[in-house]
Structures are given as C-alpha cells and as structure tokens.
Amino acid sequence: MATAAAQQTARTQPGTGRDGTVGTTDADDAFARAFDAAVAADERIEPRDWMPDAYRATLVRQIAQHAHSEIIGMQPEANWITRAPSLRRKAILMAKVQDEAGHGLYLYSAAETLGTGRDELLDKLHSGRQKYSSIFNYPTLTWADVGAIGWLVDGAAITNQVPLCRCSYGPYARAMVRICKEESFHQRQGYELLLALSKGTPEQHAMAQDAVDRWWWPSLMMFGPPDDESAHSAQSMAWKIKRHSNDELRQRFVDICVPQAESLGLTLPDPDLRWNEERGQHDFGAIDWTEFREVLKGNGPCNEQRITQRRRAHDEGAWVREAAAAHAAKHSRPGAGAPAAPAPTTASADTTGTTGAPQA
C-alpha cells in the first residue's frame, strides 16, 4: 500500500489544488509519481484518486463508446424478437437484449465516476461525436444472424473484454467482470443456436452458413485497426487500460474460432485460412480495411438507420422523462403538491399491500 500512502501524502500537501492550478509543481509531480507507481504495482485507480487528464479522457471515451455499443447493439438483435421461431429462442433472445441494456447501464455508471453524466454521453452519441462498435452497422437479415452474432460478435467482444477485467481503472474493471460472465453465456447460446440450424434441414444449414459468411470479416474488424495504425494503443497499454495489442487479440480469436467452426459443420469464408505449423497459429487472409474505414465514417449499411432509431427513441421519450422529473420535483419539496410524503415509492406500496402479495 506504499503507493496508496503516496497518493494520500500528495493529496494532503498544503496549498495544492488537485488540478495543479496553484502552480506547485512538486505536488503535481508527487501525484503523478503516485499514479505511475500504482499502475506499475497493478493497483486499481479509483474515482477519487488523482489521475492524468489524458488518462481520464481516454477512459471516458472508451467506456462511453463501450456503453453506446451495448445500446446500439440491442437493435440488430431486437430486430428478430418478434419473429423468433420458437418460444424458447424468443425467451433467450429477449433475456439477451435485456442484459445488453443492463450492460449499458453499468458502463454509463462507470463512466460517470469519471465526472461526466449519462445525458452528456448520450448527447454525444446522438450527435455523432462519440462512436459505437462498427459491427452494429451490419444488418440482421435472417434468424441465423442472431446465432452468428452470439457466436462471433460476442466471441470477439469477450476476447477483447476479458483482459479489461484487469484494467487499471477499478470501476471499469469491475463492470467488465460482471459483463464478461453474461457475455460468455450469450456466446454459448449463439453457438448452440447455430448448431441447431447447422444440423437441421438443408435450408436451415444454408441459412447458418450464409450468416457466418456475412459476419466473419466484420467480427475480425471488431479488434480495431492493425497495430501499426492504432492511434491509442501504446498509451493505453502503458496505462494498463489495454493489455494486448489489436493484432494479438485478433489472432487469438481466429485460433479459437477455427475448431469451433469445424465442430459446427460450417466453413469460414477465407480461402487463405490455414494452420501455420511454424508459428503455431493460423494464417488468415487480408482484412478489407477500406470497408472498415467506410463503416467508421458512417457509410456502413445501417449507420443511418441505427442512429436514427436511437435518436427517435430518445426524442419520442422526452415527454416521459420530463413527466418523471416533474412528478419527482412536485413530491420531493416539503409542503409542495398534494401528498406530503415521498410519493413515488409509498404510492404503490399502498395498493400492493392490500392483496397481501409479496413484492418481487
């Protein structure tokens, strides 16, 4: 706990503003040294700890975009909820989309510990100033796409996110522990969905193969640009926000997927994919980075649709949020409005109590 003590010392030095505006460079240095030492010792940085502005900004950007990806990511799957072909599959899919909304909530909370509000982040998403994962700009054209998303997209997300459970920023790392558990479950369900199709009728098998053909390359793009073009990688690795490079994680994912595709009885759409004895890894074909850049720029197949739906949900819901705020305001001021007590909770307790039924 030497580093924690150093942070404490730095924090309590007289005459020092945490933003360093007082100009006491010695104290600034002490904060910075304490931070570096904590990162080096694999200690967790917590919300009240001093951190470099750039570290804070990087985390806000990454966590917010992660949160945005969860909520935009609800759309391609929700697209199939009303058409799910069995009640069991429908229940699984609804639960999954519900989990994604929950993941969005955890992640916005984690981002808020860095001093930014959910409203502000959503505004940045809606105005295109913050991004979400490129993968959700692809359409779900058949039921099998739901399986391909589970197997490949969630699989890639897990490969990316498991190392984040050890990320240097405590609130993010803890959110990821919980999220990764649920994501692994979703991925297994996606795999199982594809397996049922692959072993089903010839039409179902063809549907599964077509989905894998369409989702394979976009999934590989989820790991981001190649290492020599990744703008934020080096600094993020130094700060232990990131633990592995994009290309390392992408390779790991390919090596995991190849045997899984085989046991699914499906092929991966890459003629250059083969085992490399020397490297002990799979070689695979070139990714179409032009497509990747186009999708990031907003020119993917669903960019416009996704953001429009998100904005519409938000705009059309404005009166509901305003009503909730107005109601809370009326009933939180002492002496204002009709019921004097804090109404929102006591109100419902009255009637549910009359039935004698237990609260869920």
Partner 1 sequence: MTAPSTDTPTVSAALALGDDALVLSHRLGEWMGHAPVLEEEVALANIALDLLGQARVLLSMAGDEDELAYLREERAFRNLQLVEQPNGDFAHTIARQLYFSTYQHLLHARLAAGDGPFAPLAAKAVKETAYHRDHAEQWTVRLGDGTEESRARMIRACAALWRFTGEMFQPVEGVDVDGAALEAEWLASVEDVLRRATLDVPEGPRTGAWTAGAGRQGLHTEPFGRMLAEMQHLHRSHPGASW
Q: Give 17 or 342: the residue with its C-beta nearer to partner 1.
A: 342
3-state secondary structure the chain: CHHHHHHHHHHHCCCCCCCCCCCCHHHHHHHHHHHHHHHHCCCCECCCCCCCHHHHHHHHHHHHHHHHHHHHCHHHHHCCHHHCCCHHHHHHHHHHHHHHHHHHHHHHHHHHCCCCCHHHHHHHHHCCCCCCCHHHHCCCCCCHHHHHHHHHHHHHHHHHHHHHHHCCEHHHHHHHHHHHHHHHHHHHHHHHHHHHHHCCCHHHHHHHHHHHHHHHHHHHHCCCCCHHHCCCHHHHHHCCCCCCCHHHHHHHHHHHHHHHHHHHCCCCCCCCCEEECCCCEEECCCCCHHHHHHHHHHHCCCHHHHHHHHHHHHHHCHHHHHHHHHHHHHHHCCCCCCCCCCHHHHHHHHHHHHHCCCCC
> Which residue among 262, 317, 340, 342 contacts partner 1 (CB under 8 A)?
317
Q: Binding segment for partner 1 among 12-20, 104-112, 260-268, 282-290 (CB under 8 A)?
A: 104-112
Q: Give 1 or 320: the residue with its C-beta nearer to partner 1.
A: 320
Q: Binding segment for partner 1 among 3-11, 131-139, 169-177, 319-327 (CB under 8 A)?
A: 319-327
Q: Binding segment for partner 1 among 21-29, 100-108, 131-139, 281-289 (CB under 8 A)?
A: 100-108
Q: CB of 323: closest distance to partner 1 in angstroms?
A: 3
Q: How far is CA 295 from CA 96, 218, 271, in A?
A: 25, 10, 24
Give the footprint of partner 1 on residues 122-161 (CB under 8 A).
143
Q: Give 2 or 326: the residue with its C-beta nearer to partner 1.
A: 326
Q: Give 84 or 158: the residue with its C-beta nearer to partner 1.
A: 84
Q: CB of 332: closest distance to partner 1 in angstroms?
A: 13
Site size toward partner 1, by CB under 8 A: 65
> Which residue among 26, 42, 53, 203 contacts partner 1 (CB under 8 A)?
203
Q: Binding segment for partner 1 among 29-37, 153-161, 173-181, 335-343 (CB under 8 A)?
A: 335-343
Give the footprint of partner 1 on residues 248-307 (CB under 8 A).
none
Q: CB of 330: closest distance to partner 1 in angstroms?
A: 7
102 binds partner 1 (CB under 8 A): yes
Q: CB of 260: closest distance to partner 1 in angstroms?
A: 20
Q: CA 150, CA 187: separation in Å to the nearest integer? A: 5
330 binds partner 1 (CB under 8 A): yes
Q: CB of 40: closest distance to partner 1 in angstroms?
A: 37
Give the footprint of partner 1 on residues 58-97 (CB under 8 A).
71, 74-75, 78, 81-91, 94-95, 97
According to DSSP, the β-strands at 274-276 and 281-283 are: antiparallel
What is the separation of C-alpha 51 from the centre of its chain, rounded to a whole number of angstroms? 23
Phi and psi at 177, nearest 5°, equal -60, -45
Q: Give 73 or 224: the residue with its C-beta nearer to partner 1.
A: 73
Q: CB of 84: closest distance to partner 1 in angstroms?
A: 8
Q: Give 48 or 312: the residue with its C-beta nearer to partner 1.
A: 312
Interacting residues with partner 1 (CB under 8 A): 71, 74-75, 78, 81-91, 94-95, 97-98, 101-102, 104-105, 108, 143, 193, 196-197, 200-201, 203-204, 309, 312-314, 316-324, 326-327, 330, 337-339, 343-344, 347-348, 350-352, 354-360
